[in-house]
Chains A and B, each alone.
Chain A
Amino acid sequence: MRRRDFMALMGGTAAMGVLPARFGQAQTRAESLRILSEAGPNSLDIIGVGVNRNSIQATWNVYDRLVRFTSKPGPGGTLYYDYFALEGELAERWQVSDDKRSITFHLRRNAVFHDGSPVTAEDVKWSLDRVVSLPVGKPQFATGSMTDPAQFEIIDAHTIKVTTPKPDRLTLPNLALTYPVIYNSKVAKQNATAQDPWAAEWLKSNVAGGGPFKLDSFQPGQSLQLSRNDAWTNGPLPGYRRILWQFVPAAQSRRSSLERGDADIVQDVPPVDAVSLSKDDKLKVVGVPMAGAFQFIGMNNAIKPFDNVKVRQAIAYTLPYKQMFEAALFGRGRPLFGGKPGAPETTEFPQPLGYDTDLDKAKALLAEAGLAGGFETTFTFELSMATIAEPLSLLVQEALGKIGVKVTIVKAPAGQLGTMLQKKEVPFFFEASAAYLADPDYFFRIFYHGPTRWNFGSYSNAEFAGLVDKTRYEPDQAVYEKDVRRMIHLAKDEVPIILLWQPTLDTGMQKSVDGYKYQFHRQLELRTLKRV
């Protein structure tokens, strides 16, 4: 029935079936936003097995969190999330204790859920308990030293304290990520069962929150509709009253709808379309290099000949970066090649590793490694990334041929490279990944350390591993930065993996859409969007 109410509000429905039902003719055009994306959410519960990234876009906008990242000006004048500056969302303010081990959050007194009931410390505790109690949520919260429900302590109805065993700089940013959404625990508990104490089944297709938008309807695989929660007081009221989000697999169909003016925002714009659409005067394409995301050439440091640092450097000096960047991404991204070798200038990571195409140097390094005659290897990529990886792998093959390395290209069926990497059986490959938290030590801990498949290079260096452990709880900022610089220096010198670039997140929109904010999760933030 919700959908019908929506229709009644829309007005003028009678003409729609007969006339070419252009969205532009709807009366509430100015207050409605029509979004097209490649796929839709597969769950409205963000903490679950196999939950996809589109689910973030749904949950992000119907739920609130305790804290959120503020905005700073980003490239091209868009808003960009500021990882190092948080503000309260459901929390009015917070205090960090003197020993830096606990954070006390004071909730907004007037905050209410969609059903009108007040947001209390009990709801917050239930929601945070839920994260550490579900197998998928726990490892993420563990990166912020939160593993046990006992760490979340209710002080009074509007105050809650989070305590960690050691001071941890990742605790607070963790509370602003996608998992710790605050549920209306009374509603959720009513729908919990003995086998399912956290109402995971029910929350998959229902919303019990208090965010800036309410869910009107959700048809899996087709569309999702939201309407603004006018009682929302945890930030400036969003600009759009209604959101119609449809899932359209074909990029060409999304594009033509945007060009015809039927869609307001089109997500997942392929690089080649971003280049041509940005030449259209009626539209704009917001392209933001994705923070934390990176595409790279991986080498398994544990097997020959990639265990030899000279071989890895030789390959890093051979790759035709500029052609690869143009052929694969049409230049839509931030290069991580080039730059100066040696000691880093900033503590930011990923940053350029200091390698450019230099075949003489590459040949010399290969000779030093005792492989002047070259060697044979395979280069694997996954077919789901074929549009980028196909031209790229041909360039890699051709370039390495010049230094005597014979490369056979292996195309792994979609969804299977992960398993192969888990077994550590791929010698040389193309892959992409991303980290949510911007701290460099967090990045290294995931991607350059440990036995998981995320240590893409199977990198193992005693000094580096020591620094990864040491920086985890380093309280002294100066010492921390010195250690991080050393880790970056090692990552540049030893190239366990060859970082290529950070791709651009391209979103096409009508000129009238304003207030786009790039969020760390790369999905749409509806709170700031408005029509001008």
Chain B
Amino acid sequence: MNVLLRRLLGVVPTLAGVVVATFVLTRILPGDPAVFFTSSPSADAATIEAVRQKLGLDQPLWRQFVIYVGALLRGDLGQSITTGQPVLTDLLQRLPASAELTIVAFALAVAVAIPLGVAAALRPGSLVDHLCRLIATAGVSLPTFVTGLLLIYLFYYLAGVAPEPMGRLDPFATAPPRLTGFLLIDALAARNGEVFVSAARQLILPAATMAIFALAPLARMTRAAMIASLGSDFVRTARANGLKWRTIVVTYALRNALLPIITTLGMVFSYMLGANVLVERVFAWPGIGSYALDALIGLDYAPVQGFMLAMAAIFVAINLIVDIAYSIADPRTGLFGHA
């Protein structure tokens, strides 16, 4: 457990670095927020100065940084101008939305990709293998907004079976009392079946869109790792010893193929969480991706910094989980000593 503690302590300098980097990065962006926000044609130079003062951008950079870090330590991420809300409120509201979507999409992708990859590896060159290749190629080469629009067109516009692709809940359903921000969980906690169904229906299309995109790297990586593992000496030995097919594939081959798969899983998950802007846009999903993009376009520094910080923290957490998962899959690489 000492090792785990040391790993956690190692996070501190990483996050400190991120704080400095995000601050500097947003400051070197070209574009003057004071000019940008003084958008009324009747404004003159004095108004721009007044706005600059109000935004605190008239202070020297080091003072702005000190103020920023001071506020951070108090848990204050600043105020967003594009939404008019405190950044922390925004993030707490939107992070669960993105996380819920990502987790469902991720589970969907894993549930399809790993069996598909394993099946393809067991019979290279077969129909299943070609199917796997086709799905992977299509998933990766279709941009998510195209997949999203295609699904909307088929299931909402033509067939009418999917709900309107707008937001997390039917516009006339009442949101359940907020516990976690995950609507599915909150609806269950409130024992509200209707809201659960409504939220799940809204979730299907965007989650499927993201899953199709995430399928490709997972399926391909599973296939490659499994082929290597199935061709290795220990599997040949196991076969020669007449072990059961199931034991060979699952216990020996798959477990040994897991390391690269886990790495890919971690990367795909973090990528999905932060980079699903297009899916969020198409489905009017109130997530953090589109939030950060709006802020960036709007020269709104505080949300961009808050977003980067939150994402960095999540990446660090996922890396840690991946490391722990490694040591479960393969004790030799572990954080924990051999038992």
Give A residues with C-beta under 8 Å from B.
3-4, 7, 10, 13-14, 16-18, 20-21, 23, 26, 34, 36, 39, 41-43, 49-50, 52, 135-136, 138-140, 142-143, 204-205, 220-223, 244, 246-250, 252-253, 256-257, 259-260, 262, 384, 413-416, 418-419, 422, 433-435, 446-447, 450-454
The digit string for B166-210, where 1 denotes a CB below 8 A from any CB of A, is 110011111100000000000000000111111000000000000
Chain A: minimal CB distance from B122 (Å): 41
B278-309 vs A, Cβ < 8 Å mask (1 yes, 0 no): 00011110100011001001111000000000
**Complex contact A139–B42 (CB within 8 A):** yes
> With A10-B172, A17-B170, A17-B198 given, is the CB distance from A413 to B284 under 8 Å?
no
Q: Which residues of A contact B198 (CB under 8 A)?
A: 16-17, 21
When distances are taken between beta carbons in the complex, the residues of chain A under 8 Å from B196 are 17
In the docked arrangement, what's the CA distance between A222 and B157, Å?
22
Which of B12-20, B82-90, B221-229, B246-254 contacts its partner? B82-90
B172 touches A49 (CB 8 A): no
The reply to whether A136 and B40 contact each other, CB–CB distance below 8 Å, is yes
The answer to whether A246 touches B167, judged by C-beta atoms less than 8 angstroms apart, is: yes
B187 nearest in chain A by CB position: A17
* CB-based contact A384/B43 at 8 Å: no
A21→B197 CA distance, assembly (Å): 11
B173 touches A16 (CB 8 A): yes
Report yes or no: B42 in contact with A13, Cβ–Cβ below 8 A.
no
- Asked whether any CB of chain A lies closer than 8 Å to the CB of B103, the reply is no
Chain B residues, Cβ within 8 Å of A21: 163, 170, 172-173, 198
Q: Are B41 and A454 in contact (CB under 8 A)?
A: yes
CB-CB under 8 A for A139 and B40, given A17-B197, A26-B172: yes
Other-chain residue from A223, A259, A450, A453 in contact with B35 (beta carbon distance below 8 A):
A453
A451 cross-chain contacts in B, Cβ below 8 A? 45
Contact A34–B171 (Cβ < 8 Å): yes
B323 within 8 A of A: no
Interfacial chain B residues near A252, Cβ < 8 Å: 149, 152, 282
Of B47, B175, B284, which one neighbours A249 at CB under 8 angstroms? B284
Q: Is the CB of A20 within 8 A of B163?
A: yes
* A416 & B51 in contact (Cβ 8 Å cutoff): no
Instruction: Give the distance in Å from the alpha carbon of A451 to the alpha carbon of B45 in the complex.
Output: 9
Question: B residues engaging A (CB < 8 A)?
Answer: 30-32, 35-45, 47-48, 50-51, 54-55, 81-85, 90, 94, 145, 149, 152-153, 156-157, 160-161, 163-167, 170-175, 193-198, 281-284, 286, 290-291, 294, 297-300
Q: Once the chains bind, are B282 and A50 in contact (CB under 8 Å)? A: no
Closest to B149 in A: A252
Q: In the complex, which residues of chain A have a beta carbon less than 8 angstroms from the beta carbon of B281?
A: 249-250
Cβ contact within 8 Å between B197 and A18: yes
Q: What's the dominant secondary structure at chain A's contact region?
A: loop
15 contacts between A and B (CB under 8 A): A16-B173, A17-B195, A49-B55, A140-B42, A142-B42, A249-B284, A250-B145, A252-B149, A260-B164, A413-B30, A418-B35, A419-B32, A446-B42, A451-B45, A452-B41
Check B297 against A415 for contact (C-beta < 8 Å).
yes
- Which of A135, A204, A447 has the most chain B CB within a 10 Å cutoff? A135
Chain B residues whose C-beta falls within 8 Å of the C-beta of A39 in the assembled complex: 294
Contact among A14, A205, A220, A259 with B157 in the assembled complex (CB-CB below 8 Å):
A259
Of the candidates A10, A20, A253, A422, the one whose C-beta lies within 8 Å of that of B165 is A253
Nearest residue, chain B, Cβ from A39? B294
User: Given A26-B172, A136-B40, A17–B84 Cβ distance below 8 Å?
Assistant: no
Known contacts A18-B197, A250-B284, A415-B297; is-contact A50 B166 (Cβ 8 Å): no
A419 vs B90: C-alpha distance in the bound complex, in angstroms? 28
Q: Chain B residues with Cβ under 8 A from A221's Cβ?
A: 83, 90, 94, 286, 291
B152: contacting residue among A3, A253, A416, CB under 8 A: A253
Q: Is the CB of B41 within 8 A of A446?
A: yes
Hey, which chain A residues are within 8 Å of B290, CB to CB?
249
- Bound complex: CA A142 to CA B193 (Å): 57
Complex contacts, B38 vs chain A, CB 8 Å: 49, 136
A406 to chain B, nearest CB (A): 25
Q: Can you add 13 more A-B contacts, CB < 8 Å, to A52-B82, A453-B35, A454-B41?
A: A3-B175, A21-B172, A136-B40, A220-B84, A220-B85, A247-B284, A250-B145, A257-B166, A262-B164, A413-B31, A415-B298, A415-B299, A422-B32
Cβ–Cβ < 8 Å partners of A415 in chain B:
31, 36, 297-299
Bound-state CA distance A460–B149 (Å) is 50
With A42-B83, A446-B42 known as contacts, the answer to whether A416 contacts B30 (CB < 8 A) is yes
**What CA separation (Å) do A495 and B257 show in the bound complex?**
70
A222 to B93 Cα, complex, angstroms: 11
- Cβ–Cβ contact B167 & A222, under 8 A: yes
B173 and A13 form a contact (CB under 8 A): yes
Given A16-B194, A16-B198, A50-B37, decide whether A204 and B81 contact each other with a Cβ distance below 8 A.
no
